[in-house]
């Protein structure tokens, strides 16, 4: 048997992303309250300056520095008014100061604020300024955060809490974002049992619990997808095709785990092939390797709706890592996100990994107290404890042995959405 050459991961990622951007998700308007994690589909431009006017960043006294020209020997200022945040003061007259509170607009005629701690209120009611004041001191300039007409959020940005705050600060109560991808999740494998259905002590020989379904659901939901869990694929061809067709009708992506290895015999591969197209790849990736990309038509008509199809390996760690490295960028690209790849950190390996592998490896590692990376002792693709222990992956190129102290590419799970 001739071994086919493995496909490089870079090539696979490029093909996956090309399929995603061919037909991106349509836009929709959502409340800014609900937009976390969504990808912006229409730029947000401000219709106002933020702050709208010069205002004070301190509690204190608004004044004009010309009145303090002879400081420290100048006459006390007359405290003529009191301006709370939200209130608008009167123009300041020569020799006057205004009591003012953080955020309040600086009144006309004032050009600086003296902190209250730097002032003394005299019994006469006058104000003595105890410290030199320079023009513009403690004043936030109009438009220093945002200017009228400024694009504050760009198309393709994935919105986090700060983005929502910024959108709100320019008065946007709704944002135009890409629709949530609808994902149909299938599990394959006759050996799979759902936790809760059979107690550990009653498991039949050969049976294993379906763990992939749990982390895939969780990852998909974190990515903002709407999930339909189809459970375990039925073990008859016709039923499988019906389930796939129905999923293609109502989903943007059909995702399976298991059933895509060369030797495996299940109904998913032939069913997808019958309903659309399927490419089975052997990726130069470890953990990982088998991966399927394709499309499923909802029916036989020429204009029928099609859903993307992706098949992950069945091994838990392979499935998890392949999701993070291929499916996640796909789902972000499908939403039009500008940044679909995780920014890596350069970190020092505090371990040896002498056996270079011909495949690109993703080693489960954890940052240690010495500022380096420690390696989980069992890197087998079946060992899910490695992913719970780890806080990220080392992305190690093919044929690259690692020596203690080498700088490596580290991808934190937090950046991968885990």
Supply the minimum distance, in Å, between the C-beta of residue 363 and a copy of itself: 15
For residue 117, state whether it binds a copy of itself (rule: CB under 8 A). Answer: yes
Q: How many CB atoms lie within 10 A of CB 352?
A: 13
Tell me how far apart the terminal alpha carbons of the chain are, to the nearest angstrom.
Answer: 39
Select 19 or 261, whichever has its Cβ closest to a copy of itself. 261
Residue 284 bridge partners (DSSP):
none
* Options 12, 17, 129, 320; binder of a copy of itself; rule CB under 8 A: 320
For residue 184, state whether it binds a copy of itself (rule: CB under 8 A). Answer: no
Using CA atoms, how far residue 189 sits from 192, 264, 268, 381, in Å, is 6, 10, 10, 17
Select 270 or 305, whichever has its Cβ closest to a copy of itself. 270
Contact at 8 Å (CB) between 233 and 266? yes
Angle between helices 237-250 and 268-275 (to 10 degrees): 60
Choose one: 6-14, 69-77, 142-150, 243-251; the region binding a copy of itself (CB under 8 A).
142-150
CA distance 259 to 158: 33
**Phi and psi torsions of 72, nearest 5°:** -90, 10
For residue 21, state whether it binds a copy of itself (rule: CB under 8 A). Answer: no
* Options 43, 74, 88, 239; binder of a copy of itself; rule CB under 8 A: 88
For residue 72, state whether it binds a copy of itself (rule: CB under 8 A). Answer: no
Choose one: 16-24, 62-70, 209-217, 297-305; the region binding a copy of itself (CB under 8 A).
209-217
Contact at 8 Å (CB) between 53 and 191? no
Supply the minimum distance, in Å, between the C-beta of residue 163 and a copy of itself: 5
* Options 19, 210, 256, 360; binder of a copy of itself; rule CB under 8 A: 210
Select 299 or 382, whichever has its Cβ closest to a copy of itself. 382
* Options 72, 91, 149, 171; binder of a copy of itself; rule CB under 8 A: 171
For residue 181, state whether it binds a copy of itself (rule: CB under 8 A). Answer: no
Choose one: 70-78, 156-164, 244-252, 268-276; the region binding a copy of itself (CB under 8 A).
156-164
Contact at 8 Å (CB) between 257 and 313? yes
For residue 23, state whether it binds a copy of itself (rule: CB under 8 A). Answer: no
| Residue environment code for 138-155, b if the CB has 16+ CB neighbours within 10 A, otherwise e | bbbebbebbeeeeebbeb
CA distance 180 to 252: 9
Near a copy of itself in 373-412, by CB under 8 A: 378, 380-385, 387-388, 391, 412
Instruction: Give the three-class secondary structure for 40.
Output: strand
Near a copy of itself in 26-55, by CB under 8 A: 32-33, 36, 46-48, 50-53
* Site mask for a copy of itself (CB under 8 A), range 336-355, x = bound: -------x-xxx--------
* Options 108, 190, 250, 273; binder of a copy of itself; rule CB under 8 A: 190
Instruction: Give the three-class secondary structure for 161.
Output: helix
Within 8 A by CB and 6+ apart from 214, the residues are: none
Q: Is 141 left (phi over 0), alpha (psi -120 to 50) or beta?
A: beta
Supply the minimum distance, in Å, between the C-beta of residue 69 and a copy of itself: 23
| Number of Cα atoms under 13 Å in the Cβ half of residue 87 | 12
* Site mask for a copy of itself (CB under 8 A), range 253-282, x = bound: --------xxxxx-----------------
Residue 278 bridge partners (DSSP):
294
């Amino acid at each position: 048997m001739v071994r086919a050459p493995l496909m490089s991961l870079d090539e696979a990622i490029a093909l996956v992303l090309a399929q995603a951007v061919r037909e991106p998700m349509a836009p929709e308007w959502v409340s800014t309250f609900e937009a976390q994690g969504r990808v912006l589909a229409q730029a947000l431009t401000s219709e106002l300056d933020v702050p709208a006017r010069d205002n004070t960043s301190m509690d204190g006294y608004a004044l004009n520095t010309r009145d303090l020209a002879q400081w420290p020997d100048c006459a006390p200022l007359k405290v003529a008014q009191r301006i709370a945040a939200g209130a608008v003061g009167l123009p300041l007259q020569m020799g006057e100061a205004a009591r003012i509170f953080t955020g309040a607009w600086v009144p006309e005629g004032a050009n600086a604020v003296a902190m209250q701690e730097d002032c003394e209120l005299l019994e006469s009611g006058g104000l003595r300024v105890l410290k030199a004041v320079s023009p513009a001191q403690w004043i936030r300039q109009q438009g220093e955060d945002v200017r009228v007409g400024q694009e504050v959020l760009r198309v393709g940005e994935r919105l986090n809490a700060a983005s929502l705050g910024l959108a709100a600060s320019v008065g946007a109560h709704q944002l135009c974002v890409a629709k949530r991808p609808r994902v149909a999740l299938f599990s394959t494998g006759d050996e799979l049992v759902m936790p809760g259905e059979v107690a550990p002590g009653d498991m039949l020989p050969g049976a294993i619990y379906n763990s992939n379904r749990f982390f895939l659901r969780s990852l998909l939901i974190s990515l903002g997808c709407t999930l339909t869990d189809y459970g375990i694929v039925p073990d008859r061809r016709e039923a499988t095709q019906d389930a796939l067709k129905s999923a293609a009708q109502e989903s943007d992506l059909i995702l399976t785990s298991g059933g895509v290895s060369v030797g495996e015999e299940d109904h998913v591969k032939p069913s997808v092939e019958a309903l659309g197209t399927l490419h089975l790849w052997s990726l130069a990736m470890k953990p990982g390797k088998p991966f399927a990309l394709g499309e499923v038509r909802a029916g036989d008509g020429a204009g029928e709706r099609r859903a993307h199809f992706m098949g992950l390996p069945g091994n838990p760690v392979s499935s998890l890592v392949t999701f993070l490295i291929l499916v996640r960028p796909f789902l972000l690209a499908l939403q039009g996100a500008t940044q679909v790849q995780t920014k890596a950190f350069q970190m020092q390996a505090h371990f040896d990994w002498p056996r270079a592998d011909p495949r690109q490896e993703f080693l489960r590692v954890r940052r240690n107290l010495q500022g380096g990376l420690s390696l989980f002792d069992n890197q087998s693709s079946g060992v899910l404890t490695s992913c719970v222990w780890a806080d990220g992956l080392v992305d190690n190129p093919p044929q690259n042995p690692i020596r203690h102290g080498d700088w490596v590419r580290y991808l934190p799970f937090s950046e991968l959405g885990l």
